[in-house]
Structure 1
């Protein structure tokens, strides 16, 4: 697949999809607490996506059985929600979510600290969030994808963290995963 140039209308559709996904993440943030299962978060999030007139794009994507990837603590990605996976005080919960709005995809992950988290966990959250913004500084005309990824990696590595090289960012549009990757 090659990079497709989006029209102004397509960019606006993707922007709207992103804003709707932000609403879903904001809603899920109000539900995350000790005692809730990852299945409940998935179920409530899917209901909200559908209330917004959208479709969850992870559900059944390449066989994935849920609407959200929900990981706890040291899991990296693609955690499958379950009634048996219960959120605890001090957990780091990563929710990767996506939706389709009028044929256009959004995809975004957030990490949440549940209650009182350790200083190490807080630092990890801060560094990873800032790494994202360091990469954004390089997302401009004339730069290459490796400029963005180098900024992210350099920032994280400066704090003693690494980057999972097998799991990369990607473009979006009418497909969930588009070039560049």
Structure 2
């Protein structure tokens, strides 16, 4: 008897499950807003971690990063040349002009939200402001490609094109960090498939109504190459250039992409 190959799709959720993920995502958004408000010169990244954890637990949720493969924090706090996975520390004290990327996750009723935000402490250099904005625009381009019937690498390609468009807009080049990217998300924080931040379109599993992905470009003002420090977590640019990281958890709906990690105004 004949056997038809099943079409590979990006894992999908029901409308009710998407609402449950959005509730978890709203907790993450609230934590990020609170962290940004607290990020002033003289404040340590450990202080910021405590702010995030108190918001998350206060909402009846659990920080998804804390204890994840032994990670000690509720946020990843990545300052200046740290790309991702910076460990909150009393020894990392923010100063005017620092570029800070905060990645945060929460679990509510078994569902995960995951989002990242880059912002400045005090006054940023023009280059740093443009780097963060370029990363945000790249994320937005990826989000816009989250439509029913698209292929996974259509999103990767859209993110890459978003980066190239930002280069034209700002008249400077940006490095797309090699080897890191987005991911499936649902009842676990990191699920297949891996979502690259560049590449050819038209490949990989198909997106369907309810498919969920974390879209997260990471750009630098220089190299695409990074090194993991001896703590086995902190990822830094090899040339010391500054880096930015933006991320939202997004779902495909019949009405277009839905951001599940909204931030309170």
TM-score class normalised by the smaller sequence:
over 0.9
Aligned to 2:25: 18
Alignment check: 8 A CA contact 2:34 2:51 kept: no
| Aligned-partner SS, 1:88 | coil
Q: What is the alpha-carbon distance in structure 2 between the residues aligned to residue 140 and residue 165 of structure 1?
A: 25
Superposed CA offset, 1:59-94 (max 9, x none): 010111111100101111000011010001000000
Q: Does 1:99 find its partner at 2:106?
A: yes
Counterpart among 163, 177, 187 of residue 174 in structure 1: 187
Q: What is the alpha-carbon distance in structure 1 between the residues aligned to residue 11 and residue 157 of structure 2?
A: 23
Q: Which runs of 5+ in 2 are unaligned?
A: 1-8, 168-172, 195-265
Q: Does 1:76 find its partner at 2:83?
A: yes
Higher relative contact order (CA 8 A, sep 6+): 2
Q: What is the alpha-carbon distance in structure 2 between the residues aligned to residue 5 and residue 120 of structure 1?
A: 39
Q: What is the alpha-carbon distance in structure 2 between the residues aligned to residue 38 and residue 29 of structure 1?
A: 11
Q: What is the alpha-carbon distance in structure 1 between the residues aligned to residue 73 and residue 107 of structure 2?
A: 15
Q: What is the alpha-carbon distance in structure 2 between the residues aligned to residue 94 and residue 63 of structure 1?
A: 21
Aligned to 1:155: 162
Alignment check: 8 A CA contact 1:153 1:162 kept: no
Instruction: Point out the structure with max Rg over C-alpha.
Output: 2
Q: What is the alpha-carbon distance in structure 2 between the residues aligned to residue 149 and residue 74 of structure 1?
A: 24
Choose between structure 1 and 2: higher helix proportion: 1
Aligned to 2:46: 39
Aligned to 2:258: none
| Aligned-partner SS, 1:147 | helix
TM-score (norm 2): 0.66
| Aligned-partner SS, 2:147 | coil
**Higher mean displacement: 89-98 or 9-18:** 9-18
Q: Which runs of 5+ in 1 are unaligned?
A: none
Runs of 4 or more above 2 Å deviation: 2-5
TM superposition shift of 1:153: 1.4
Choose between structure 1 and 2: higher strand proportion: 2
Aligned to 2:217: none
TM superposition shift of 1:3: 4.2
| Aligned-partner SS, 1:76 | strand
Q: What is the alpha-carbon distance in structure 1 between the residues aligned to residue 157 and residue 84 of structure 2?
A: 21
